[in-house]
Copies of this chain bind each other. A is one copy, B any other.
Amino acid sequence: MSRAGQPSVVALAGGVGGARLVDGLDRVLPPGALRTVVNTGDDFRHWGLHISPDLDTIMYTLAGLSPQDRGWGIEGDTFHTLAEAERRGEESWFQLGDRDLVTHLARSSALAAGDSLTDATRALCSSLGIERELLPMSDAPRPTRVVTQGGETLAFQHWLVRTRAALPVRAIELGGESVSTPHVLRALSEADLVVICPSNPFVSIDPILSLQGVREALTNTETIAVSPILNGAAVKGPLASMIPELVGKPASAQAVAEHYEGLLDGFIVQEGDGFDAPYPVLETNILIQSTEDRVRLAREVLDFARYRG
């Protein structure tokens, strides 16, 4: 159900691919039409600070601060604090830039003062000049843990960054409580269209879907997903090896679609990746790097949906 007088699109997003489609949607949709629900299952404490990798990637992408050549941090950032931490024998496996640090300091400080993560995110967006609404999927901890095939359980960033995603995965566990926020549930209830961004289904989207009320909201609303797999590979991140490890199938767009069974009203894949499905499947170029690519794909997503923004 739209809010009075304006269309309403909700994007569900995690890391880099998600950030880029959100950027495209942000540029194409009228002001106020887009709200983005962001995975916080990757959140963790490091150097005593609350780090929200997916929120940061999306904020920096929307603010035009993201580097071209890596999926985290701020373009041109320096690493003097990190170098000093390393020199002193402090933990230095997670790369926090000097400018980037302001985000983590401001967020941690706001949370310590009693603000919710939702409030802290709104303030960060405002200080970065971002006008669209970024909604953390939850204000409560919902940590994603990786159970390796060796039987170890690791916090997600430890597995992804510290071990460089080198350990094969047996299962993904979601800790904490399965509560979302009133903001997320309201956004979903008002949505004309939900876009599941090309993010990792297991560690970026499932944590959002695991929250009470989210899956139900999606079944009541037109939901379109964009495949994070093209030609059997992921553009970034460990998804291509996780699919066979977790569901026993080769990595493919179809395997992702099957993971979202019962939720989709349409699916968008790379040219040549099409398959038979009980809903329309659109083949196009889903590799989005430049701003032009992002805008083009965002337009195609909206044109493909029955909903017309």
Contacts and interface: CB of A to CB of B under 8 A. Distances in A.
Contacts of A127: 88-90
In this complex, the member of A78, A89, A101 whose beta carbon has the largest number of chain B beta carbons within 10 angstroms is A101
A140 interface: no
A50 to B, nearest CB: 10
Interface in A96-138: 98-99, 101-102, 105-106, 108-109, 112-113, 127-128
Copy count, this protein chain = 2
Contact of A101 (B81, B106, B128): B81
A106 B91 CA distance: 10
Contacts of A85: 102, 105-106
Contact of A99 (B81, B102, B109): B81
Given A84-B99, A102-B88, A127-B90, A48 B78 contact: no
A102 B90 contact: yes
Given A127-B88, A127-B89, A49 B80 contact: no
Contacts of A94: none
A48 B108 contact: yes
Contact of A90 (B83, B106, B112, B113): B106
A127 B85 CA distance: 10
Contacts of A128: 88
Interface string A235-252: 000000000000000000
A47 interface: yes
A143 to B, nearest CB: 17
A231 B80 CA distance: 42
A106 to B, nearest CB: 6
A238 to B, nearest CB: 28
Given A48-B109, A48-B112, A109-B48, A102 B89 contact: no
A98 B112 contact: no
A109 B48 CA distance: 4
Contact of A105 (B48, B83, B99): B48
Contacts of A48: 105, 108-109, 112-113
A125 to B, nearest CB: 11
Interface string A23-50: 0000000000000000000000001110
Closest CB pairs A-B (n = 7): A48-B109, A80-B98, A84-B99, A88-B127, A47-B105, A84-B102, A81-B98
Interface of A: 47-49, 77-78, 80-81, 83-85, 88-90, 98-99, 101-102, 105-106, 108-109, 112-113, 127-128
25 contacts: A47-B105, A47-B106, A48-B105, A48-B109, A48-B112, A48-B113, A77-B80, A78-B78, A78-B80, A78-B98, A80-B98, A80-B99, A81-B81, A81-B105, A83-B99, A84-B102, A85-B102, A85-B105, A88-B102, A88-B127, A88-B128, A89-B127, A90-B106, A90-B127, A101-B101
